[in-house]
Amino acid sequence: MSHDPATPWIVSLAAGGFAGAVEAFATYPFEFAKTRVQLREQKGVPTPRNPFLVVAGVYKNEGLSALYKGCSALVIGSVGKDGVRFLSFDTIKEKFKDPETGTLTPLRNMGAGMASGVVASITAVTPTERMKTALIDDARNEKRYKSNVHAIKTVIAEDGVLGLYRGFAGTTLKQAGATAFRMGTYNILKDYERTRNIPQTTLTNFANGSVAGIVTTFATQPFDTIKTRSQSSRGATTVEAFQSVIADYGVRGFWKGTTMRLGRTVFSGGILFTTYEWAAAILNPVLRKQTL
């Protein structure tokens, strides 16, 4: 997002999709641990807060493959999600930036991020998040799904195509908020650095992305918890998910899995934006040579 404003839309889409895939695969065990914690557990059984303990326990009891259950669904979804997110954010940002400085006000940065999050939720995020969550939930309980394809067919057979959009409200709220805070925070930091001639290095990009990930996690965790409950293997409406969290844990339950998610987002934010900047820097000159 700091690349040349003349960057073609295909570069934003391709670099964003590639960055999303790398980030999703690299940090998936933390996402797995977070999802396990958010799904309803047995009464009276303490839930570990340390993501490394959850990951280690699953690895010991279920093997390495269990930690990547549902990963392909998330990776595929991340290609579409982040490709669309970066493309729509860059497009919207170009419309509202200051023509002299090339920067946006913090409010416009957040607004551009929110709009791109809604677009991403509709086009890619909700269906893939639904299948990822259902696969993780099914693996610990009924084990009905034989594969990703079988899981999709089962959901459609039981609930129709709309079954893939179970938890749409919670997911869209989360995506709108998460993208607003993640993209917004990252670009606010970059715009601040740009106006003060602070060089943009890999370390700077990673640090900015990590800060954006931390802010995003605390601000949007309740939406993430509701989304996870809605998208369990049997599914639930947004209202039912909300009520089940209150019944199980009270208001504090909406921040269940925050530590788990932080374990991922601190790294994922850095990885995502660093990979995006790197991919865009490579693709831009290549594309320009081809069009000359």
Give the start-to-end residue ranges of the domains of the chain.
9-286
Q: For the segment 255-277, what is each residue's pLDDT rounded down to a tens digit?
A: 887 877 787 788 899 999 999 99
pTM of the model: 0.70
CATH architecture designation of domain 9-286 = Alpha/alpha barrel (1.50)
pLDDT at residue 2 is higher than 50 = no
According to the model, what pLDDT value does residue 271 have?
95
Is 35 in contact with 136 (CB distance < 8 Å)?
A: yes
Whose CA is closest to 117, among 87, 97, 161?
87
Nearest partner of 153 among 163, 167, 139, 142, judged by Cα: 163
**pLDDT of the residue at 201:** 92
The most confident of 97-111, 184-198, 234-248, by mean pLDDT: 184-198
Render pLDDT for 160-191 as a digit per residue (tens, 0 to 9).
988 888 888 878 888 898 899 999 999 999 98
